[in-house]
Amino acid sequence: PIDGQRLWDSLADMAKIGATAKGGNCRLALSDEDKAGRDLFVSWCEAAGCTVTVDRIGNIFARRKGLDDSLPPVVMGSHLDTQPTGGRFDGVFGVLAALEVVRSLNDRGVDTLHPVEVAVWTNEEGSRFSPPMMGSGVVTGVFTLDEILDKVAQDGARLGDELVRTGYAGEAPVDHPMHAYLEAHIEQGPVLEVEGKEIGVVTGAQGQRWYEVTVTGVEAHAGPTPMRLRRDALVAASAMVQAVQRVGLETAGDPCATVGILDVHPHSRNVIPGRVFFTVDLRHPNADTLADMDRRFRAAVAAIAEQNGVGAEIADFWHFPPTPFAKPLVDRVREAAAGFGFSHRDIVSGAGHDAVYVAGKVPTAMIFIPCEDGISHNEVENISPADGARGAAVLFETLVATAGK
């Protein structure tokens, strides 16, 4: 029911904005490139006859009228921001598949009972500004608007100021009404490809716990300071990175344990590091197992600090528990995939998505498509046009079934 070539062309046009050397994209949240991507999206939505509103956290909603326009909209969407060395499909695919559904509804003259909207959520990635999923978190009351407006980027910019600068400090209130929410996304992992499945029916998302660790040793000269007298913050922190890895390797199920940022102070070749800051990201589909990973991680950091004669402080930075999606809506995704004869399987999302926060407020489901070699958050991220078209088709069917005719 959708035009796969038109979807593919739109993906290619969007990928020109913030294109990187190795074929990926850099459109960090609320950067000039993110603004350019948003502007292009808005122009496409207006051309498709939608009414565009922007809320106070910069989320964009492009609305196609419903037969009963007083009913709350069925919202489809995802995000346009990327990682610093991100791919062309993470987030973007969900937004442009949703736009393709609207274009296709127009082409076919299909009227839905509920209005239909395409949402672009602000700062899903959590890279330039942290944590992730800010736009959806504000709309669902997980975060207050004010705390998020005051977030400061790695580059020192304040989020509220960047909204104004890029022209996306909207006026709409942040308690956007929704009847249901549907998000199509690339899997970002290898499961569908390895098993040869065309569609992932996402039953929920695994839980996440993010931390910030600060290790404090004693700065000293790399030359005349004997090895046995050192309190090297980096030697201790590197043992902690190894311990985080072990927490991941020694957990049953599908655990993840990652250190993505590590900063050394004073950052001089001939100074024993006096302070190291690093981030930790632990994930598991099972809440008890995630709690156990948390305990083992904390114990390992404390023990390593003790052994190395350094201080270590762990700050809880962000978390969400394992989050199931709405069964009736998930069933509808499975039925749509089966209806087209697409091979499919149920799958738990390894990543956080705006759908995770929205699921706390309205019935929510996600549709995954395979990505090449399971690689995401990487410039080489790739999908096949056929997989993209299949995902958009399942989104179309699920949307129509949910929005009613």
Ligand X SMILES: NC(=O)NCCC(=O)O
Exactly one of 123, 136, 203, 208 binds a copy of itself (CB under 8 A); which one? 208
Exactly one of 193, 219, 335, 372 binds a copy of itself (CB under 8 A); which one? 219
Cα 197 versus chain centre, distance: 22
Residue 53 binding target from a copy of itself, ligand X, none, CB below 5 to 8 Å by type: none
Which 53-112 residues touch a copy of itself, going by CB under 8 A? 83-85
Minimal distance in Å, beta carbon 353 to ligand X?
5
Exactly one of 109, 223, 226, 341 binds ligand X (CB under 6 A); which one? 223
Minimal distance in Å, beta carbon 155 to a copy of itself?
11
125 binds ligand X (CB under 6 A): yes
Decide whether 53 or 238 has the Cβ nearer to a copy of itself. Answer: 238
Which 254-283 residues touch a copy of itself, going by CB under 8 A? 254-274, 279, 281, 283
CA 57 to CA 44: how far, in whole Å? 21
132 binds ligand X (CB under 6 A): yes
Give the residue among 168, 156, 153 at the shortest CA–CA distance from 121: 168
Cα dist. 115→48, 69, 193 in Å?
14, 6, 35
Cα dist. 9→14, 102, 261, 385, 388 in Å?
9, 16, 35, 10, 11
Q: What are the residues whose beta carbons fall under 8 Å from the beta carbon of 118, sequence distance 6 or more?
A: 45, 50, 61, 62, 75, 76, 77, 95, 98, 99, 102
144 binds a copy of itself (CB under 8 A): no
Residue 124 binding target from ligand X, a copy of itself, none, CB below 5 to 8 Å by type: ligand X
- Using DSSP bridges, classify how beta strands 199-205 and 116-120 pair: parallel, antiparallel or unpaired: unpaired
Decide whether 222 or 229 has the Cβ nearer to ligand X. Answer: 222
324 binds a copy of itself (CB under 8 A): no
Q: Which of 121-129, 211-219, 226-234, 313-321 is the region at the interface with ligand X (rule: CB under 6 A)?
A: 121-129
Q: Which of 172-180, 191-199, 345-353, 358-366 is the region at the interface with ligand X (rule: CB under 6 A)?
A: 345-353
Which 338-357 residues touch a copy of itself, going by CB under 8 A? 349-352
Exactly one of 33, 55, 117, 124 binds ligand X (CB under 6 A); which one? 124
189 binds a copy of itself (CB under 8 A): yes
Contact code string over 278-307 relative to a copy of itself, x by CB under 8 A: -x-x-x------------------------
Neighbours of 168 (CB within 10 A): 23
Contact code string over 178-197 relative to ligand X, x by CB under 6 A: ----------x---------
Minimal distance in Å, beta carbon 205 to a copy of itself?
9
Exactly one of 37, 77, 126, 273 binds ligand X (CB under 6 A); which one? 126
Q: Which of 10-18, 38-46, 67-75, 205-213 is the region at the interface with a copy of itself (rule: CB under 8 A)?
A: 205-213
Total binding residues for a copy of itself by CB under 8 A? 74
Under the rule (CB under 6 A), what is the footprint of ligand X? 90, 124-126, 132, 188, 221-223, 270, 351-353
